[in-house]
Amino acid sequence: MTFRRLVLSIGVASLVAATAMALMLRPAHAHGFGERYDLPLPLSLFVIAGAAAVALSFLVAAVFLRGDAIHRAYPRYNLLRTPVVGAILSSPALTAPLQFLSVLLTIYVIIGGLIGTERAALNPAPAALYVGFWVGLSFFTALFGNLWALVNPWKVAWGFAEAVAAAFAPHQTLSRHLEYPRRWGQWPAVMVFGGFAVLETVIAGAAGPRALGWILVAYTVYNFAGMYLFGRDLWLRNAEGFTVVYGFMSRFSITEARSPVAGCRDCSTDGRCSAGNGDCVDCYECYSLADPQERQFNLRPFCVGLNRLGDVSAAPVALVILLLATVSFDGLSATPEWVVFSTQFLLQFPKYGGYLANLVGVVGLPIVFGILYVATCRAMMALAGSAASAPPDIPALARAFVFSLLPIALAYHYAHFLGFLVINGQRFLVLVSDPFGWGWDLFGTADATINIGVLSPVFIWYFSISAIVVGHIAGVYLAHVQAVRLYSHRRAALMSQAPMLVLMVCYTCASLWIISRPIAE
């Protein structure tokens, strides 16, 4: 079989599989805020079109991505060299107010949760956390860059405390700088994000503002204790869950922070942040230590930052899969089918059945996704055979291809939360006039009307489809880049991607089905 016939056969097989799945799907209504409306076309046609786009991207990548394509060099433009923009971006007049506001908002959310009204619908603190911090900041990070690295309130507060301590005791440090246990790796960050996933999807309704305030107090103590013991940067890059998650998301974005690799010797990673690439990208510790004249803050194409794998261990693999599963379950848990499933738990455990059902989902779905991903890697290894000079095993494949799943997680995140952000963002503007739920109207917005029709359901549906398809195409591209790096023979690289293509096509179909269902929470 010739190479082109092989490519065509894999693409056609994927389209046939997508068509079969689409024909088995029932007609559905689009996933909106409790509103049912007919889709512009049958769901099966959307699924086939989406799967076809993903399969076509596979064919294009297979033809045009050659074995010598390393895709490390890409066009970039240093914004700091632009006279006006560079002066603004590097000025403390921009960064200091943002950092101060971040600390202030964190203090407010804690105090608002502890002393404000216990009614979550009237307390802005939960909305600030779930709408502003999680959804809004993640949207911004994936598109424009790692704002969290600049405004992380625990990082800012500890840095200020270190500066004050140094003023009084110049030869002493606030941190003890103990050796961080290597076996811990980034597993503490995985546990933090797992806890947040449970908080958001399982017990958000039960954890009122009081509980949320105390959780944030505990998390503040956790971070300050870790930074005291191990040092600020070392702790943040390994154990502060959102530093790691937003760092992963920002690899997709259109900006990067770049610094000379020579400065990596002073980094808490002992130089591993450069990944042997001759430069240091998106390590904000090295960026802060570098000479201001040698720093670069670049515009770059979307997605290319995910080509730089760096030191990938089991923990980042688990975290990416957990992120993908969490955003998927967030949508699945709102479908009528999940309500039917939860009802069975409610019949057995009337008081806690709904929480138990969601706990099963938020714990079980990452396990299922992990099993499917490992099975895909096993199939990749079997199909590629021993064509590489040093054939990778399953763990090596899992580490090499895991970041090709991140655009898929981001795409579904956008598809699922766009309407949520727009509607609840308006709600937050209403609540901010009464920060503690005590009947105030500080800014005259307490009686403002929320426009739930600001985005039409049809627009949200087409936006969701576009986001999901684009995310999967980006995943196909990234997977091909890694394949041509791992395998010296082009045919082996292509064959290794057939199972990944099937996995992505199946997830495309499942994602479109989930967002097509009406919200039944």
- Identify the band that residue 72 occupies on the pLDDT scale cut at 50, 70 and 90: low
DSSP codes of every residue in 348-402:
H-TTTHHHHHHHHHHHHHHHHHHHHHHHHHHHHHHHHTT-SSS---HHHHHHHHG
Q: What is the mean pLDDT of the chain?
A: 82
Stated as kind and residue range, the H or E segment containing 281 is: strand 280-281
pLDDT at 505: 82
* 87: phi then psi, degrees, rounded to nearest 5: -65, -40
Instruction: Say which residue, 304 or 38, is predicted with more confidence.
Output: 304
Instruction: Say which residue, 157 or 310, is predicted with more confidence.
Output: 157
- The answer to whether the CB of 252 falls within 8 A of the CB of 150 is no
Most confident residue range from 145-149, 356-360, 457-461? 145-149
Instruction: Say which residue, 164 or 46, is predicted with more confidence.
Output: 164
Mean pLDDT of 505-521: 78
Q: Is the dihedral of CA 326, 460, 131, 147 positive or negative?
A: positive
Interval 458-510: pLDDT, tens: 888 888 888 888 888 888 888 888 888 888 777 788 888 888 888 888 888 88
Sequence length of the chain is 521
pLDDT at 393: 85
pLDDT at 71: 52
- Identify the band that residue 346 occupies on the pLDDT scale cut at 50, 70 and 90: confident
Interval 177-199: pLDDT, tens: 999 999 999 999 999 999 999 98
Residue 246 pLDDT > 60: yes
Q: By percentage, how much of the chain surpasses pLDDT 70? A: 81
Residue 67 pLDDT > 80: no
Tokens of 454: 């600001």
Instruction: Say which residue, 141 or 263, is predicted with more confidence.
Output: 141
Residue 57 pLDDT > 50: yes
pLDDT at 416: 85
pLDDT at 6: 42
| Distance, CA of 50 to CA of 267 (rounded, Å) | 44
Most confident residue range from 34-38, 255-259, 264-268, 434-438? 255-259
pLDDT at 390: 58
Q: Nearest to residue 245, comparing CAs of 406, 473, 471?
A: 406
